[in-house]
Amino acid sequence: MSSPALLLVAYDARQAASRHRLRQSVQHHAVGHQRSLYEQFPEAGEQKTLVRLLQARKEASDDLWIFVIDPRAQKIFLGCATTPHQFSGAILS
């Protein structure tokens, strides 16, 4: 069985109600997110359902992008995340 493709779902909703609807739609299946960019690993049937749901919930003035990342693609990692206690630099305010 092949692994599910990674979906990157991003939206730019101008109205708060629309943002809330879109966020609720993708948040349930998300494995990670950053503001209005969510990553998910849905199965084939779930992917089609999610796309239809998001298209139905967005306003005409909203922008919605869904990127499908091929699971066979080579992974390249840039940099290394650190926790705050590992930070040795200076914070200027």
All domains of the chain in start order, with CATH? 1-93 (3.30.70.240)
How far apart are the C-alpha atoms of 61 and 53, rounded to whole Å? 17
Q: Is 26 exposed, middle or buried (0-12, 13-18, 19+ CB in 10 A)?
A: buried
Q: What is the pLDDT of residues 38-59, one digit of tens each?
A: 788 887 788 888 888 888 988 8
pTM over 0.85: no
**pLDDT given at position 93:** 45
Instruction: Give pLDDT < 70 ranges for the chain.
Output: 1-3, 32-35, 78-93
How far apart are the C-alpha atoms of 27 and 40, rounded to whole Å? 9
User: CA 21, 22, 28 angle in degrees (round to 5)?
Assistant: 95
Which residue in 92, 91, 13, 87 sits closest to 57, CA to CA?
Answer: 13
